[in-house]
Amino acid sequence: QVQLVQSGAEVKKPGASVKVSCKTSGYTFNSFYIHWLRQAPGQGLEWMGIINPYNGDTRHAQKLQGRITMTRDTSTATVYMELKSLKSEDTAVYFCARDRTVVLAATEYYFGFWGQGTQLTVST
């Protein structure tokens, strides 16, 4: 069965960086887009970015320009999301999610399988 397992909770100081991992299994890693989303406390969902595991191409939300980097390791079927220059507003649960769409087609942004979430707390 499809599984996405994320790394554990993080506590960081403002200005620091964090790198969250998402290890996938149960399907062909290169075949489906992976997205990163986050949810601030008591708030709704926010899309952060997408990576194509086949070729490593990425796109991200404009508001995160210059701060987000997404990468993948095909040997371990793992994707990573690094967020730099952390602010208190980045405190949230971070999710990776697998698209329903294969990478041969354009994504329609359907998040069919989710990781369990990674709590990031940014505080002095």
Binding site for other proteins (CB under 8 A): 44-47, 59, 61, 95, 97, 100, 108-112, 114-117
121, 91 contact by CB (below 8 A) = yes
Q: Which is nearer to other proteins, 18 or 96 (CB)?
A: 96
Q: How far is CA 10 from CA 25, 63, 117, 118, in A?
A: 23, 22, 11, 8
Q: Which is nearer to other proteins, 80 or 95 (CB)?
A: 95
Q: How far apart are CA 90 and CA 87, in angstroms?
A: 5
CA torsion, points 43, 49, 52, 53, in degrees to nearest 10?
-70
Q: Which is nearer to other proteins, 16 or 40 (CB)?
A: 40
Minimum gap (Å) between residue 22 Cβ and other proteins: 12
Minimum gap (Å) between residue 60 Cβ and other proteins: 9
Minimum gap (Å) between residue 40 Cβ and other proteins: 12
